[in-house]
Structure 1
Amino acid sequence: MLQDTSDNRDNELTGPEPDEDELYEHHRIVADKGQGLMRLDRFLTEKIPNATRTKVQNAIDTEAVKVNDKAVKASYKIKPLDVITVSLPHPPRDTDIVPEDIPLNIVFEDEDVLVLNKPAGMVVHPAHGNWNGTVVNALVYHFQNLPTHRNGEARPGLVHRIDKDTSGLLVIAKTEYAMTHLARQFFEHTIERTYYALVWGEPKEAEGTITGHIGRSPRDRKVMAIYPDGSYGKHAVTHYKTLKPLHYVSLVQCNLETGRTHQIRAHMQYLGNPLFNDAVYGGDQIRKGTPNGSYKTFVQNCFNLIPRQALHAKSLGFVHPKTKQWMQFDSDLPDDFRAALEKWESYIANR
């Protein structure tokens, strides 16, 4: 259980040891009953987003971190129900969400749910570096009394997310009951989520299932790595099917059975077919074909057409919380995705 009394994204975790009466509690984390033994520094690095191992160790060394109200070393092994606090000399950031009059592309709305078509480049939830201009900022402007997530987290209406530079469909809960009902469907993997991705090359098998635990890379916390032996991370399953092989690239349909961070992006890289122009997972380099001459210029022109990872949440299906009827929604490929795909199709046709 994670109880965060303030912002858990902008984590400085640095500075000299302050006087006790000048400390402000930023995080309070209670280890689960089933928590296995784990070093304190690794535990906090996993629990606090954007916290590096170095910052965590510095905070521990200056006794800004305490376990059960006692200062301990970074090598301390976390045990079930341990209470870990992080206190810093500056007050927490005000996490009140500022309502903003941002237009929303509403596909469907009734008194219980809202289905949006999110454009690429729009963050779903305010976080470090993106406090404004998000879907949530727009939601709190346009709608009143949206439900929050478990533990009272300030995430009005959200039951799932899609990445900033991924476009497509997103369902929002407008009532507490709808929130609980939809969250249960996500937990039980009964939500239908279909994504279209433009990937490098052609998958060796035209269709298949990618199974591999996903967890943060030890080399870069912003990147998700695959742990096929299940030694780390969370269970993740992606079903894929090649819709249009174009030799250098392919249009691929991906259906999520689970919903992990960067799941499709990480799984397709693991398969050897990273998403086109995905800078985080190597797709912003030429991965198929000779990287020079007119072909290099052509690929760069394609990158310019879709300056993001080529991923779109195309369809979404779920059981309506109140009517119990199956709801199915579909969306068109956005202009940038369609333009890049058509350019590749023309290139292959005229090759």
Structure 2
Amino acid sequence: MRKQPFTVVYEDNHLLVVNKAAGVLVQGDKTGDKTLTDFCREYIKHKYNKPGDVFLHPVHRLDRPVSGLVIFARTSKGLERMMELFRKREIHKVYWAVVKKKPKEEMGKLTHYLTKDENRNLVTAHEKEVSASQKAELNFKRLGTLNDHWLLEVRPVTGRPHQIRVQLSSMGSPIRGDVKYGFVKPNQDASINLHAFHLVFTHPIKKEKLFLRAGLPTEPFWEQFLEFEEIKAKDQHLDNTFSG
């Protein structure tokens, strides 16, 4: 049986935040496959019995093989204000990544300059600025080890395409399953072990602080890391501290 493409994490008149399954596109591409946006529009249309077109726009993207939190705007006002929060870097994102090779440092910051080959959909990380490159920064921390793999908490400062994937690979620790960026073999379901776990931001209309969390995928490899999830569930200081 095919797994659900998403589960709802937060919903009100302005926003819909879902936990996306790995393998689902957020927006359309040349494959023509049904997208998360399509699934969520159907959900809204059915739940609220809406006639005609449903206004629903993703505020950001997650790569197809990545699971976790995706924010949609349900109103044009919500969309405009959420885009502004992203522009100002006032949305704090926390990812979990599983790698085979242990990073040398317990915690650190990575800075690279990224270029993208659009034809191959492949990003290259450079140590120094090169022509047409974009600066990419992230912070990481080792949370622990299980069965010969390391769980990392990753907090991107910038939001570049494939940023976490290519930066961890450049550090010598490609994400499990990510053959595009140097892992030795793919996962059976074509996913990679990168999960958008937490989002913290101030609601653009209600002005309330939201701490949103997406449970780990219900998949045997991920489930062994559930013991770390309890630590994170108690964390209410995500804007500026690592935990765990």
Q: How would you bin the TM-score normalised by the shorter chain?
A: 0.7 to 0.9
Post-superposition offset of 1:192: 1.1
1:24-49 Cα shifts (integer Å, max 9, x gaps): xxxxxxxxxxxxxxxxxxxxxxxxxx
Provide the TM-score with structure 2 as the length reference. Answer: 0.80
Whole-angstrom distance in 1 between the partners of 2:191 and 2:6 = 21
Q: 2:193 maps to which residue?
A: 310
SS in 1 for 2:109: strand
Post-superposition offset of 1:263: 0.8
Post-superposition offset of 1:246: 5.0
Q: 1:125 maps to which residue?
A: 27
SS in 2 for 1:272: coil
Q: 1:105 maps to which residue?
A: 7
Whole-angstrom distance in 2 between the partners of 1:162 and 1:265 = 12
Q: Does 1:138 align with 2:39?
A: yes
Counterpart amino acid of residue 221 in structure 1 = R
Structure with bigger gyration radius: 1
* Structure 1, unpaired ranges of 5+: 1-101, 148-155, 286-299, 343-351
Instruction: Name the structure where helix makes up a greater proportion of residues.
Output: 1
- 2:102 aligned to which of 192, 202, 207: 202
Structure 1: which 4+ aligned runs deviate by more than 4 Å? 144-147, 339-342
Q: 1:26 maps to which residue?
A: none
On the 8 A contact 1:185/1:191 being kept in 2, the answer is yes
Q: 1:167 maps to which residue?
A: 67
On the 8 A contact 1:116/1:171 being kept in 2, the answer is yes
Task: Give matches, 1:200-349, under 5 Å.
Answer: 200-217=100-117, 221-231=120-130, 232-246=132-146, 248-285=148-185, 303-304=187-188, 307-336=190-219, 337-339=221-223
Compared with structure 1, are the counterparts of its residues 221 and 132 closer, same or farther at alpha carbon in structure 2 (3 Å cutoff)?
A: closer
On the 8 A contact 2:100/2:175 being kept in 1, the answer is yes
Identity %: 28
How many residue pairs get matched?
214
Post-superposition offset of 1:248: 4.0
SS in 2 for 1:229: coil
Instruction: Name the structure where strand makes up a greater proportion of residues.
Output: 2
Provide the TM-score with structure 1 as the length reference. Answer: 0.57
SS in 1 for 2:62: coil
Whole-angstrom distance in 2 between the partners of 1:106 and 1:138 = 12
Compared with structure 1, are the counterparts of its residues 208 and 122 closer, same or farther at alpha carbon in structure 2 (3 Å cutoff)?
A: same
Post-superposition offset of 1:340: 6.3
Whole-angstrom distance in 2 between the partners of 1:195 and 1:103 = 19
Counterpart amino acid of residue 157 in structure 1 = H
Task: Give matches, 1:74-89, under 5 Å.
Answer: none
Root-mean-square deviation over aligned CA pairs: 2.3
Post-superposition offset of 1:339: 4.2
On the 8 A contact 1:202/1:247 being kept in 2, the answer is no
On the 8 A contact 1:166/1:311 being kept in 2, the answer is yes
